[in-house]
Amino acid sequence: MKPINQKANIIPRLHCLLFDHVFEETRAVTLHVKEYECKYCKKQATTNGNGRLTELTPAFREINGILERVYKHRTMRKSMLKVAKQDLKITG
């Protein structure tokens, strides 16, 4: 069994314990819902229904995936309708 290098593993966690997490955006699900990851300890978080950060669990990951798919489909459909209306104004 290989010995674990605990010194390298403690430093990022220690930074987060002392100074709190430094979250960076990793994925924009919608305009309001995003996923984040801590720069140091790699802890993942997402925004919940109230706009606060919550730990990214498998349930939230699945919800975000479905929400992203619905959001992309809806925005694509809206943009296609907008283009169709502009075409009608030009030809009509």
Q: How confident is the model at residue 1 (pLDDT cuts 50, 70, 90)?
A: low
Q: Provide the pLDDT for residue 14.
A: 85
Residue 40 to residue 11: CA distance in whole angstroms: 9
Is the residue at 39 inside a domain? Answer: yes
Percentage of residues in the chain having pLDDT higher than 70? 85
Q: Is the pLDDT of residue 18 over 80?
A: yes
9: Cβ–Cβ under 8 A, 6 or more apart, which residues?
none
Q: Kindly state the tokens that stand for 78.
A: 């809206």
Domain containing residue 26? 6-91
Q: Give the total number of structural domains in the chain.
A: 1
Would 1 be classed as within a structural domain? no
Q: What is the mean pLDDT of the chain?
A: 86
- pLDDT tens column, 48-82: 989 999 999 999 999 999 999 999 999 999 888 87
- 73 is a domain residue: yes
Report the alpha-carbon distance of residue 76 to residue 56 in Å, rounded: 27
